[in-house]
Amino acid sequence: MVLVTGGIRSGKSRFAEDFALSKGDPPWVYLPTAWPSDAEMVQRIERHRQQRDARFSVLPLPESPLPGGFLDILRSIPDDATLLLDGFGLLLGQLFEGKNVPDLPALVEKAHPLVDALTKRTGLTVVVTDEAGSGGIPLTPSGRIFADMLGEVNQKLALGARFVYLIVAGYPLPIKT
């Protein structure tokens, strides 16, 4: 597995797509995680869709935005296919829907089966995630818990990854090679 992390609009998706297409074998499968929750998000998703290479087969979102729905889709992908999951931070954010101060250990536990499945795939698997902790401390309790959860899950992803890249201003910095 290859983990690609970095800040918002850092070039993570572009790097991950190029990496998957140049290093992986067909078929190339793209598993998005962004839900069209409002008009601005619909526009963001459409921009990503227009910029994405046509060689990717894009899977539909699961019926539920929770990790279990993504796990079901992941299990349906041929193990030797090249998989790009973009992005893990958005997927984890879905766990917060309608909750003020979620239970951190329970949320991290919900993500573990998906992390384990991603790290056990035999085909090239590229996972995009948002880097936690590069900015200030979030102002709200929910924001702080989300940052903590993302940081913990990112560490588990990085532990299982063969390669980790940090993308800064469009440039990849190899962290684990």
Q: Hey, what domains does the chain have and what are their CATH numbers? A: 2-176 (3.40.50.300)
pTM for the full predicted model: 0.91
What separation in angstroms does the CA of 144 have from each of 33, 67, 150, 151, 155? Answer: 22, 20, 10, 11, 17
> Does the active-site annotation cover 112?
no
pLDDT of residue 92: 86
Identify the active-site residue in 7, 18, 35, 48.
48
User: What is the pLDDT averaged over residues 108-112?
Assistant: 86
What's the chain's average pLDDT? 89
What separation in angstroms does the CA of 74 have from each of 4, 16, 119, 172? Answer: 18, 18, 12, 26
Residue 134 has pLDDT above 80, yes or no: no
What separation in angstroms does the CA of 107 have from each of 5, 23, 48, 112, 136? Answer: 20, 33, 28, 9, 22
pLDDT of residue 101: 61
pLDDT of residue 122: 95
Residue 98 has pLDDT above 70, yes or no: no
pLDDT band at 25 (very low <50, low <70, confident <90, very high): very high
